[in-house]
Amino acid sequence: MIVFKQIAHLQKHLQSAKKDGRSIGFVPTMGALHQGHLSLIKLAQSNSDIVVCSIFVNPTQFNDNKDFDKYPITIEEDILLLERQNTDILFLPSVSEIYPQGKKLSKPYELGLIETVLEGAFRPGHFQGVSQVVDRLLQIVMPDNLFLGQKDYQQIMVIQKMIELKKHRTKIIIGNTLRENTGLANSSRNLRLTESEKESAIAIYQSLCFIQENIAKKSISELQQEVAEILHNSGFRHIDYIAIVNAKTLAPLNNYSPSVPTIALIAAFIGEVRLIDNMIL
């Protein structure tokens, strides 16, 4: 694996590869890598000639500075995992390398409704920061394919919108959410959970399964109330949302219909850690 910290050196290497007709797959991460990230590397390897993984903890997408300060940094372990997975390239830039003109956006991205609901409602400015860093990384790497995990469902929609706005020639390929044996979705934030909190956190997946099993039997409002009770009884101290929405628009649904693409999404706090998960119904 080759590690690049400077854009110019990375681009020189990739330009040479592209001249030889090799395709580029890109997996952007913020480090604290887990099996979910590695599954995306594997997916990229099966669809690309060269795989680039980036590790960059992006300061502009944290609306809470405390969350940014607490984000786990495990760079030595991350490098070892990527080497074991035979990753071709690791891009490891500094903040000044990504944002040489400063972090402030000159013009906001016109993301529309998807920026204002669910994650957007509870994390104002978050998706502007996500769009900013992914836009910048796509300008640098210029990949053929961008590999993202379904756990960040709304974020994928935001990135797709940004790609359309900026006319990037990059296709998104979505990897399935990878889960532990308990059903808990792999997440870098899981590193911040105590063992007892990790056991309690399984209730998010169990709640999604409950929705899946009962979506045709109960009203959406009933399901939301019952899931809230499940989460509270399992130790979740605060719930941001339990949403059952149109999977293409994120518009809330009053009633379930098999003919309408539907997804359930949950965001809730266990201890001090905010977890998200979703399930396509």
Binding-site residue numbers for ATP are: 30-37, 149-152, 178, 186-189
Query: Is 37 annotated as catalytic?
Result: yes
List binding-site positions. 30-37, 61, 149-152, 155, 178, 186-189
List binding-site positions for beta-alanine. 61
Q: Of 37, 168, 232, 238, which one is the catalytic site residue?
A: 37
Is there a contact between 153 and 263 (Cβ–Cβ < 8 Å)? yes
Q: Could you give the residue numbers annotated as active site?
A: 37
